[in-house]
A = this chain, B = another copy of it.
Amino acid sequence: MPLNDYNRDQLITEARKLTETFRRFQDANLKLDLTRGKPSTAQLDLANGMGPLLLEQCFLEDGTDLRNYGGLDGIPEARKLGAAMLGLHANEVIAADNASLTLMYLYVLWAYHFGPLGAGTAWRDEGDVKFIAIVPGYDRHFSVCEEVGIEMVTTPFAEDGPDIDVIEELVSKDSSIKGMWCVPKYSNPTGHVYSSEVVDRIAALGRMAGPNFRVIWDNAYGVHDLRDNPPVLANIMERCRHYGTEDFVVQIASTSKITVAGGGISFLGGSKPNLDTFRKRLSIMTIGPNKLNQQRHVNFLKNFGGLQAHMRRHAEILRPKFAMVQQHLEKGLGGKGLATWSDPQGGYFVAVDVRPELAAEIIRMAGEAGVKLTPAGATFPYHCDPEDRNIRIAPSFPPVEELDLAMQVFVNCVELASVQYRLKEIGG
> Which A residues contact B (CB, under 8 angstroms)?
36, 38-39, 41, 44, 47-48, 51-53, 55, 65-71, 97-99, 101-102, 105-106, 113, 140, 143-144, 147, 256, 260-263, 281, 284-293
Which of B52, B53, B99, B144 sits near A287, CB closer than 8 Å?
B99
| CB of A278 to closest CB in B, whole Å | 13
Min CB gap A66→B, angstroms: 7
Chain B positions within 8 Å of A38 at CB level: 68-69
- A263 CB to nearest chain B CB (Å): 4
Find chain B residues with CB under 8 A from A285 CB: 99, 101-102, 105-106
Sorted from nearest, which 6 A-B pairs have the closest CB atoms?
A52-B52, A263-B290, A67-B260, A105-B285, A44-B67, A263-B292
- Distance in angstroms from A220 CB to nearest chain B CB is 13
Whether A65 and B41, one on each chain, are in contact in the complex, defined by CB atoms closer than 8 angstroms, is yes
A150 to chain B, nearest CB (A): 12
Chain B residues near A290 (CB-CB < 8 A): 97-98, 262-263, 290, 293
Q: Which residues of B contact A66 (CB under 8 A)?
A: 262
Residues on B with beta carbons closer than 8 Å to the beta carbon of A140: 284
Point out the residues of chain B lying under 8 angstroms from A55, CB to CB: 48
Residue of B nearest to A52 (CB): B52
Measured CA separation A52–B147 after assembly (Å): 38
Known contacts being A147-B281, A281-B147, is A69 close to B261, with CB within 8 Å?
Answer: yes
Q: Knowing that A38-B68, A66-B262, A262-B292 are A-B contacts, what are 11 other residue pairs whose CB atoms are under 8 Å apart, sorted by A's residue number?
A: A36-B69, A39-B68, A68-B262, A69-B261, A97-B98, A99-B287, A106-B285, A143-B284, A262-B289, A262-B291, A290-B290
Q: How far is the CB of A10 from the nearest CB of chain B, in Å?
A: 45
Q: What CA separation (Å) do A316 and B286 show in the bound complex?
A: 29
- For this chain, the copies found in one complex come to 2
Report the nearest B residue to A265, measured CB to CB.
B290
**Is A260 within 8 A of B292, CB to CB?**
yes
What are 28 inter-chain pairs, A to B, with CB distance below 8 A? Answer: A36-B69, A39-B68, A44-B65, A44-B67, A51-B51, A52-B52, A67-B261, A69-B262, A70-B262, A71-B262, A97-B98, A98-B290, A99-B287, A101-B285, A101-B287, A102-B285, A105-B284, A105-B286, A106-B285, A140-B284, A147-B281, A147-B284, A262-B287, A262-B288, A263-B290, A263-B292, A290-B293, A293-B293
Q: Is the CB of A99 within 8 A of B286?
A: yes
Which one of B48, B70, B97, B263 lies within 8 Å of A291 (CB-CB)? B263
In angstroms, Cα B106 to Cα A38, docked, is: 27
Chain B residues whose C-beta falls within 8 Å of the C-beta of A284 in the assembled complex: 105, 140, 143-144, 147
State in angstroms the CA–CA spacing of A67 and B44 once bound together. 7
Q: Chain B residue with minimal CB distance to A113? A: B113
Question: Which of A41, A70, A262 counts the most B-chain CB atoms under 10 A from its CB?
Answer: A262
User: Is there an interface contact between B70 and A286, defined as CB atoms closer than 8 Å?
Assistant: no
> Which chain B residues lie closer than 8 Å to A144 at the CB level?
284
A232 to B41, CA, bound (A): 46
Chain B residues positioned under 8 Å from A47 (CB to CB) = 67
Complex: chain B residue closest to A291, CB-CB:
B262
A99 to B281, CA, bound (A): 15
CA distance A229 to B144 in the complex (A): 49
Q: Considering the chains assembled together, what is the distance between the CA atoms of A423 and B254 in angstroms?
A: 62
Q: Which residue of chain B is the closest to A68 with respect to CB atoms?
A: B261
Residues of chain B lying within 8 A (CB to CB) of residue A113: 113
Across-interface contacts of A39 in B (CB, < 8 A): 68
- A221 CB to closest chain B CB (Å) equals 15
Question: Which residues of B lie under 8 Å from residue A286 when comparing CB positions?
Answer: 98-99, 101-102, 105
A97's partner among B97, B101, B105, B260 (CB-CB below 8 A) is B97
> Across the interface, do A263 and B53 meet the contact criterion of CB distance under 8 Å?
no
| Residue of B51, B68, B102, B106 touching A53 (CB-CB under 8 A) | B51
Residue of B nearest to A37 (CB): B69
Taking the nearest CB of chain B, how far is it from the CB of A72, in angstroms?
Answer: 11
